[in-house]
Each structure stands twice: as structure tokens, then as C-alpha cells.
Chains A and B, each alone.
Chain A
Amino acid sequence: EAGVTQSPTHLIKTRGQQATLRCSPISGHTSVYWYQQALGLGLQFLLWYDEGEERNRGNFPPRFSGRQFPNYSSELNVNALELEDSALYLCASSLYRGSNSPLHFGNGTRLTVT
């Protein structure tokens, strides 16, 4: 079974540009979650998509947005990049939205903003 896949592995952008990150969940998983992992801050919840709808977002500004496609893959867009957006962005999927459905993570996209 293929795991969660993310692309690109690394992304270098300059301040003010836009970044697009992509995620394919495990086959059969309908929920996709995005997390930011900045140095020393741990995993911060960004967005949750389920069945094509945004279900919840974390405490991040509106320039962080995304969508989920009919095949359940997902895209995270970050507009007007700032230096502090430099982090590892992790995508995770779960089989269903219940509390007993653990998260399975991809290996992330390392975003560097210069």
C-alpha cells in the first residue's frame, strides 16, 4: 500500500511569492490534514479537508488556503510568502474523521523563503 505522497520535496521561494504544495492521501482515505512544523514549535494544525470540503482551519492567516480534489488529493497554497513561513509542511490522511482514526503522514515539503 502506497503511503501519503507529497511534492515537491523542497521548495525555495522569495518573500512575496506564492507557493503551491501537493499531497496524495493513502488510497481509500478521504480526509486530508495539513500541518506546519517550524523549528522548535512542533506540529501546528493548518487545514482539514474531508469529502472535498474544508472542515476546519487552524490559527493561521487567510493567505494559507487549499482545496481537495474529487480524487481526494489536496493542494496547499501560501500567498504573499513571509520569511517566517519557512518550515516543513506535512500532509496526513485518515480513513475517516472519527477520533479512533489515526493520522498517516507524508514526508513533507521543506519550504524555504528567502
Chain B
Amino acid sequence: QKEVEQDPGPLSVPEGAIVSLNCTYSNSAFQYFMWYRQYSRKGPELLMYTYSSGNKEDGRFTAQVDKSSKYISLFIRDSQPSDSATYLCAFLGLTYNTDKLIFGTGTRLQVFP
């Protein structure tokens, strides 16, 4: 079983749709959960950063962590063509240094007008 699983997509949605991006993980030591957004020909940029369980909201973006199911989600409300990018989930244990950050392979999202 892979440590992190992420559907590669592509996920194609119309403008204004609600998008749900998901990752599953197997390592129960993970305590920090992140979402990065990567535009074509650019480096990943940190979008959301959560510790432990629960929800975190930032504008149109909501990150959700369900540690009992080992499942994290990123919801995008009122999606825009500018949201078209690859979204990477990332995980880190509580006492781990940042070099131990584990990334998913990314989901490619396309939002069409």
C-alpha cells in the first residue's frame, strides 16, 4: 500500500462549480496536512496548512482532515478558470523535519468558462 494516494485526474469542471480534491494516507504519524497548488511551468505554492483534524477555511478554499479515515480533502467553491492547476497534497509527522514531507502525485484540475 502506498503511503499517500491521490487521483491524478484530470478533473474538468465548469466555472462556478464546487470542486472536491482528495488524498488518502496510511501513516498514522502524520499530523501536518498541506495543499500546494502548482501552475504549469511554475513551482508549487502553499495553499492550505492544517494541524491535526478538522476544517480550515480561507476564502473560497476549505481544507478538511479526517484522521479516523486517514483522508484529507480540499474544497474549492465558485471555481474559476484561474484555479486550473495541479493540486498536491503533502503530509508530515509531528516530530519530523521538513525533509520528511511526503507529497501526493497531484491532481490536475481544469475549470472551463
Chain A interface residues (CB < 8 Å from chain B): 4, 31, 33, 40-43, 45, 48, 55-56, 90, 92, 94, 97-108
Evaluate whether A99 and B103 lie within 8 angstroms (CB atoms) in the complex, with A31-B98, A107-B41 already known.
no
Within the complex, what minimum Cβ distance (angstroms) separates B101 from chain A? Answer: 7
Q: Are A108 and B92 in contact (CB under 8 A)?
A: no
Determine whether the beta carbon of B98 is less than 8 Å from that of A4.
Answer: no
Residue of B34, B98, B105 touching A98 (CB-CB under 8 A): B98
Interface string of B80-96 (1 = CB under 8 A from A): 00000000100011111
1/0 contact trace for B59-74 toward A, CB 8 Å?
0000000000000000
Looking at the complex, which one of B32, B97, B105 makes contact with A42 (CB distance below 8 Å)? B105
Residues of B within 8 A of A101 (CB): 98
B93 contact from A43, A94, A97, A99, Cβ within 8 A: A99
- Chain B residue nearest to A101 in the complex (CB): B98
Residues of chain B from 32 to 53 with CB closer than 8 A to chain A in the complex: 32, 34, 36, 41-46, 49, 51
B53 to nearest A CB, angstroms?
A: 16
**Does B42 lie within 8 Å of A107, measured CB to CB?**
yes
- Can you name 25 A-B residue pairings with CB atoms under 8 Å? A4-B43, A31-B98, A40-B8, A40-B105, A42-B106, A43-B44, A43-B103, A48-B97, A48-B99, A56-B99, A90-B44, A92-B43, A94-B98, A97-B97, A98-B97, A99-B32, A99-B93, A99-B94, A102-B46, A102-B98, A104-B45, A104-B46, A107-B41, A108-B42, A108-B43
Assembly CA distance A40 to B36 (angstroms):
17
The answer to whether residues A33 and B98 also contact, given A42-B103, A42-B105, A102-B49 and a CB cut-off of 8 A, is yes
